[in-house]
Amino acid sequence: MKTQELPHIVIVGAGFGGLTTARKLRGAPVRITLIDRHNYHLFQPLLYQVAIAGLVPAQIAYPLRTIFRHQNNLSFQMGEVTSIDFNARYVRTNGSVIAYDYLVLAIGGQTNFFGLQAVQENGFQLKSVEDATGTRNHLLEMFEKASREVDPERRKALLTFVVVGGGPTGVETAGALAELITHVMAKDYPEMDLRESRVLLVEATGSVMATYPEGLREATMDLLRSKNVEILLNARLTDYNGHTVTLADGHRVDAYTLIWTAGVRSAELTDRLGLPQGSGGRIRVEPTLQLPDHPEVFVIGDAAYVEDRQGVPLPMLATVAQQQAGTAARNLKRILKGAKPEPFHYKDPGLLATIGRNAAVARIWGLSFSGFVAWVIWVGLHIFRLIGFRNRLLVLINWAWDYVFYDNQVRLITRE
């Protein structure tokens, strides 16, 4: 068969789901067009490390054209998909119209501010490279401003950092931020008494890490407190004007920094497709990950609403997106051979989150552990999962340097 006659698979999104699908279709008798608004794949779980001046963006992102340099059945197009015609089978980008035989939508998610407009405008989030470098610049600037501030109340507010959301991202960010202050900033600003600084973790429910077993939730809180993170539980944020945080019980905290990690929902495009949506705006799909009325379309990852056997929606995690990518690629191959697609079943690989130096919590193979052993597993796994040998080596060297010398390398305030 001539190349042009091969079935054309368009994959939208080169995050964990799209990238894995494309790789799994390597060597298959298909033509693949991979589309993403960025020209790189981003390892989002380490974005917080960019925000706390630990890593540079290039160490957690990798150019897509390099990743697929040797995959002959794939071409990459950088572009934003703005609409999809499911009946005529084409996607429209900000520059072209691309027809498909099969479509894989892996467009991911975005931060959910639950309608809190003021928080969206005045707070920071961790979803993109720009968000993370913007947060880093702001955090570092707060120390500069505080160092020349004579009003003690204003100085305290400049040195108060509020992280909202007690899930893994909030916990990791709060822990790393507390360590940045204790180990690094205290050395950079000997003229300031950084015991004035505060890191607050604000959580609306009664516990951090709600999906973790009781013992690990307690261990997480103990580790956070040992790093001087103040934990506010059952504290629902209602407003933030850029310098004062207001909670539902009327409690106020003066802080010039708020990092919102309390919610995630599906990418904006999912709201414009006219398809049935589940919680968080995610698109409802069949157990085989196909659209009910369009079996030639698969939706995977954060953008897809899929329930487990107990009827609980699957979490928005890289591990879910990657496993679904495996099923989507397998089902596409089966369909092309005339076989029936198979349903997706998630195999939970466990839980893992770090709280900083020598401190992490993990649940793997039914075993829970916390502290140094969990932290070593966390470091090893994250190095392994990064794309590119160079990035793995650089991140390892960087972390080893920080570990030995108590020094975060990227303390640059840059303007974009």
Shortest distance (Å) from residue 355 CB to ligand FAD:
13
Binding of ligand FAD by 44 (CB under 6 A):
yes
Q: Which residues pair with 259 in a beta bridge?
A: 124, 163
In angstroms, the CA 384 to CA 336 distance is 33
Contact in structure between 200 and 247 (CB atoms under 8 Å): no
Contact in structure between 334 and 358 (CB atoms under 8 Å): no
Binding of ligand FAD by 37 (CB under 6 A):
yes
Q: Which of 321, 351, 347, 373 is nearest to 209 (CA)?
A: 351
Shortest distance (Å) from residue 17 CB to ligand FAD:
3
**Secondary structure tally for the chain: helices H, strands E:** 12, 26
Each residue 287-306 as x (binds ligand FAD by CB under 6 A) or -, in order, gives: --------------xxx---
Binding of ligand FAD by 166 (CB under 6 A):
no
Shortest distance (Å) from residue 252 CB to ligand FAD:
27
Q: Which of 18, 83, 36 is nearest to 303 (CA)?
A: 18
**Catalytic annotation, pick one of 172, 218, 307, 416:** 172
Please indicate whether residue 172 is annotated as part of the active site.
yes
* Site size with ligand FAD, rule: CB under 6 A: 35
Output 196 or 348, the one with its CB closest to ligand FAD: 348
Binding of ligand FAD by 323 (CB under 6 A):
no
Binding of ligand FAD by 53 (CB under 6 A):
no
- Cα angle, residue 278 at apex, residues 275 and 279 outer, rounded to 5°: 140
Work out which of 23, 28, 80, 371 binds ligand FAD, going by CB under 6 A: 80
Q: Which of 145, 106, 108, 142 is nearest to 124 (CA)?
A: 142
Binding of ligand FAD by 155 (CB under 6 A):
no
Output 233 or 381, the one with its CB closest to ligand FAD: 381
Reduced to 3 states, what is the DSSP secondary structure of residue 12?
strand
Work out which of 32, 33, 36, 275 binds ligand FAD, going by CB under 6 A: 36
Under 8 Å CB-to-CB from 285, ≥6 apart: which residues?
291, 292, 298, 299, 304, 305, 306
Q: How far is CA 182 from the centre of its chain?
A: 26
Work out which of 105, 107, 164, 192 binds ligand FAD, going by CB under 6 A: 107
Query: Residues with catalytic annotation?
Result: 172
| Interacting residues toward ligand FAD by CB under 6 A | 12-18, 35-38, 44-45, 47-48, 80-81, 106-109, 126-127, 168-169, 267, 269, 301-303, 316-319, 321
